Amino acid sequence: MTLFAKILAGEIPADFVYQDELAVAFRDISPQAPFHALVIPRKPLTSVAAAEQEDAGLLGHLLRVAAKIAADAGLDERGYRVVTNVGEDGGQTVEHLHLHVLGGRAMSWPPG
Ligand code: 5GP
């Protein structure tokens, strides 16, 4: 069971900012920006690499949730970043698909 599966099961507490039948969002425990939340599907997909065509609607929903929580956090005017890490080179540490939503400061590009 991954860490995020335990959060979904209520075994590990999290600071939720959004919940629906398909997805939840909660604050990252180690925020890299003034606002840093993770959007995850309830479905235990490892990453976007594991998603099938049948998951296309779910993936779109996750992006919609990311935009909603960013708007709710007041990030629309200045902007924000949505990123998902995949595998070792992508820097993924938890093997349950998640979108990072980061805002409240200017982001640099390219990422490290
Ligand atoms: P990844 O490195 O896989 O893209 O992102 C995993 C994220 O999960 C990291 O930003 C890390 O800070 C966050 N994280 C790790 N453990 C916990 C935890 O127990 N609770 C919360 N809310 N976030 C966590």
Across the chain, mean pLDDT equals 98
Greatest C-alpha distance within the chain = 38
Q: Which residue type does 74 have?
A: G
Residue 36 designated active-site = no
Query: Closest ligand 1 atom, CA of 95?
Result: 3
* Domain CATH number, residue 65: 3.30.428.10
pTM of the prediction?
Answer: 0.98
Question: The domain containing residue 81 runs over which residues?
Answer: 3-103
pLDDT at 27 over 90: yes
pLDDT at 112 over 90: no
pLDDT, one tens digit per residue, over 66-98 is 999 999 999 999 999 999 999 999 999 999 999
Residue 109 lies in a domain: no
Coil, helix or strand at residue 33: coil
User: What pLDDT shows up at residue 80?
Assistant: 98
pLDDT band at residue 110 using 50, 70 and 90 as cut-offs: very high
User: What pLDDT shows up at residue 64?
Assistant: 98
Q: How far apart are CA 110 and CA 71, in angstroms?
A: 24
Q: How many domains does the chain have?
A: 1
Q: Evaluate the omega torsion of the peptide bond into residue 110 and state whether it is cis, within 30 degrees of 0.
A: yes
CA–centroid distance for 10 within its chain: 17
DSSP bridge pairs for 102: 36, 81
pLDDT, one tens digit per residue, over 9-24 is 999 999 999 999 999 9
Residue 29 lies in a domain: yes
Pocket test for ligand 1, best of 29, 82, 88 (most atoms within 8 A of CB): 29
Ligand 1 pocket at CB < 6 A: 3, 12, 14, 26-30, 85, 91-94
